[in-house]
Structure 1
């Protein structure tokens, strides 16, 4: 998009551009999102930015009416497979806060200078500015939706000192943290008291673009839940997390009522209730982003459905359930191990084997929530074990051992910042891994939105029976029209096949 396209988007008042476009107003020194209710500024005073960090780096402060830093993230960074997309996903996971710019550059195999140049050219801000904007956004969320002490908010958001925290919040929001919290309390409806943290439990709200059947998505995750690390009860999905500084348990549910701190629900947006029980508050940023990845909350359902609805096969499925998401993963290594366990086994057997691994080798949580008692065992723990200790048959145990060994030795690296094409090729080199399993891992562990999962040869897959040949030959030809959203098409087909069956 060029300046003229940005200007038209600013005039459109279209919520689809929220999170993708930020408008700086030179006459006031603030920046807004395209759906800001304030009067549209003159064209000569408008400046356009692709990230909130770029607007902040240019000296603009966040608008207090439209709150541009509280919108869902841009779906562009999840779909892009280049250096900038990979870097943006790692920054969102909090890598710069943990390892600095040098750690980010090393993870991407680029020099710091080249990484800085690419990010500035593409998004208008370098890695440090992007990380600072993310810290401010996390701090704003905690200040407005929890009663954590201000000093706890500072360190949970990734700041290294209280002074740095105060200075950054004043620069971004033109007010100190205490005033930001006081304003949120005034806006909060009296019928909706502030969420109270208990112990290390922190209740927040995760925004997303509508439509989305949150209950259906959580139920889908609950159907695949492994006892010990997951539980689905009364519409609430509980999940253990392994984070950089410790473990955690998250509880996700469909939100009811208005979001805390707001008087009205913004058009085109909803939110998911999220309660986090953190062992270490420094893991706040990583935990929030992994929950967003798990539920695919940064997706743009309008863009996805527009492409898929052009296909006569998919159009009625999209109309039936618009905004369907692709469930992701909170731990790519766990996802890969569970995928090879399920390669030639039924769902119940695969979950049973995974539950045994959790019970025998998982790490107990410092605080249990419901039936969630352990984290999934680390690949370093699984790799030295004999095949018969890993699965019900030696063949499946050998596959698990091969996958755990490849991950433990870093011959195979999975995560949000890896090159998806390269990771896909390396997955096929792991002993016993089929193209179908590699595609499943790429879809869920790597969050790839454009994966066509082939049917197994000579299988009686319900999707194939109901909708014709979706194998790697005929399916590939038809699915070219589904790009770059083939993962979403697969989700629609699987869901419809389940309904037929």
Structure 2
């Protein structure tokens, strides 16, 4: 995949001097005079150029002996999503890095070496080859990369929650409290308790009433109103409450982490001036915060790199630079809603999904009158009476598709998580009754977070592109040819077309990734 133009160190220093949020997470700067590394948005006094060392990843800075800044907090930076098409090794390294960013990969298996073997098997290479490629392109070993991710996650929990240190260690993937304390002390020179005090974690009654609130950053531009409007048009009362005018999203959550189910609620408040999101969660979700943060980042597409995407799409979508691709907190829920949306309007699909929630959604107590149910689980819908589904107005073909999806997820033959293998998941989906190319691509676009999905045969997309959808296969071929110029970001092109921002090729230059 393409990425934005690589930055040299002089360009990075200019970005640091201007605190340019467009480059947040794309590099980190280590200050040799202090031994601290920062994000480019850090508001401390800018160090002299000769005192700066630049790194592509936080793990590189920590391997070089730098400690994270307690003011700009590198753990809050957007994740690196720079995919490269330079060579097979770069692609493999980026795929491995994305898999390792998932908190559910931070298992204790790293201690005995089995995790790297499973990762290499997943990627179809030997563990020796994976280590060599990862170090060549990322600059650190996979073990070092995971250790940094775990430590930064723990640092965030220590700063923003009142979780006991033992629970912070467990949530961050450490095998024992002793190992956790040792890792924090060795890397940061502080005990977990000292780090918590130094970062001013919420305390007393404030923490009790506010709940755990963490902050998640993004790179501008980001059109938060458009994102929330898209979600509001599809919201399910009882499960979601979206307020685009207030830049706020509420919803119920069910997470399965380590074989255990956790249920609760979240409130996401956009803070555009600071290019960040304030995420407040119920007490019941505190111990799985890293996994929840991961899913919220995917739901709201917080890790996208607009510089790379807009360099490809801006000529055809000049007013869509801030649009992102909405994801989902739960892949099964999104897949069911995609099936219900086949060949009907958004409003009709929402009505059917609402009936499903009212009939089988598990009740949940929350502080918000508008939130009181969870979306039905795969196990529940797999065992539902087809006649009862029919009574909700769901036709037989979609009944069969929903229950086939539910059974496949329940028995483990179908993975709809953000880290699922794309090719095998698409094949499995289309082998199910009632799941065609459009539905599979839509699920890939939102649940699998594939940036190059293309929902074949989408009438609204064809209309937005000015094509005659009545021509059938000919229109699909024409749309595919047109979209070839948008690879590898066709998912973003789809959202921009649906939003009505498509224009014929412009003669203006694409946005520059420079200062």
Partner residue, 1:62: 68
Query: Residue 209 of structure 1 aligns with which residue?
Result: 219
Which of 308, 315, 339 is matched with 1:310 structurally? 315
Gaps of 5+ in 2: 470-474, 503-515
CA contact (8 A) 2:381 2:406 kept: yes
How far has the Cα of 1:25 moved from its partner? 5.6
Work out whether 1:139 is the aligned partner of 2:154.
Answer: yes
Q: Aligned partners of 2:421 and 2:488: how far apart in 1?
A: 16
Equivalent of residue 446 in structure 1, options 444, 448, 457: 448
In structure 1, the partner of 2:398 is 396
C-alpha contact (below 8 Å) 1:328/1:444 kept by paired residues: yes
- Offset, 1:447: 0.6
| Cα deviation, residue 491, structure 1 | 0.8
Q: Would you say the 8 A contact 2:416–2:425 is kept in 1? A: yes
Which 10-residue stretch deviates more, 391-400 or 121-130?
121-130
Partner of 1:362: 361
Q: How does 1:41-440 map to 2 (within 5 A)?
A: 41-42=49-50, 49-64=55-70, 67-76=73-82, 83-98=92-107, 100-101=109-110, 102=114, 105-106=117-118, 109=122, 113=128, 115-148=130-163, 150-185=165-200, 196-198=206-208, 201-233=211-243, 235=246, 236-243=248-255, 244=257, 245=260, 246-255=262-271, 265=274, 270-311=275-316, 314-315=317-318, 317-318=319-320, 322-365=321-364, 367=366, 369-391=368-390, 392-440=394-442
2:409–2:415 CA contact under 8 A, matched in 1:
yes
The 8 Å contact of residues 328 and 447 in structure 2, kept in 1 or not, is answered as: yes
The 1:198–1:8 alpha-carbon spacing in structure 2 relative to 1, beyond 3 Å, is same
| Change over 3 Å in CA distance of 1:484–1:256 after alignment to 2 | closer
> How far is 1:430 from its partner?
1.9
Shift of 1:118: 4.0
Per the alignment, in what secondary structure is the counterpart of residue 196 of structure 1?
helix
- Range with bigger deviation, 220-229 or 107-116: 107-116
Relative distance call for 1:103 and 1:177 in structure 2 (3 A) is closer
Distance 1:323 1:487 in 2: 14
- For residue 276 of structure 1, report the CA deviation from its aligned partner: 0.8
Tell me what 2:479 maps to. 475
> How far did 1:441 drift?
0.5
CA deviation map 1:1-42 (0-9, x unaligned): 9xx964344333264443233344667644344566533454
Q: Name which of 457, 467, 474 aligns with 1:455.
A: 457
CA drift at 1:230 = 1.5
Structure 2 residue 493 is matched with structure 1 residue 489:
yes
* Whole-angstrom CA distance in 2 between matches of 1:218 and 1:354: 19
Distance (whole Å) between structure 1 residues aligned to residue 168 and residue 30 of structure 2: 28
Q: CA deviation at 1:394?
A: 1.3
- Alignment length, in residue pairs? 469
CA distance in 2, matches of 1:35, 1:497: 30
Provide the rounded CA distance (Å) in 1 between the counterparts of 2:376 and 2:450.
Answer: 25
Kindly state the Cα deviation for residue 432 of structure 1 after the two structures are TM-superposed. Answer: 1.7
Q: Select between 200-209 and 154-163 the one with higher mean Cα deviation.
A: 154-163
Q: CA 1:92–1:28 in 2, change beyond 3 Å: closer, same or farther?
A: same
TM-score by length of 2: 0.79
Give the TM-score normalised by the residue count of structure 1.
0.81
1:39 corresponding residue in structure 2:
47
Q: CA deviation at 1:248?
A: 2.5
* Cα displacement string for residues 263-322 of structure 1 (whole angstroms, at most 9, x for unaligned residues): xx5xxxx111211114253211000111111000011123222321223xx22x33xxx3
Cα distance in 2 between the residues matched to 1:65 and 1:283: 25
For the structure 1 residues 113 and 469, does the alpha-carbon distance in structure 2 shift closer, same or farther, using more than 3 Å as the test?
Answer: farther
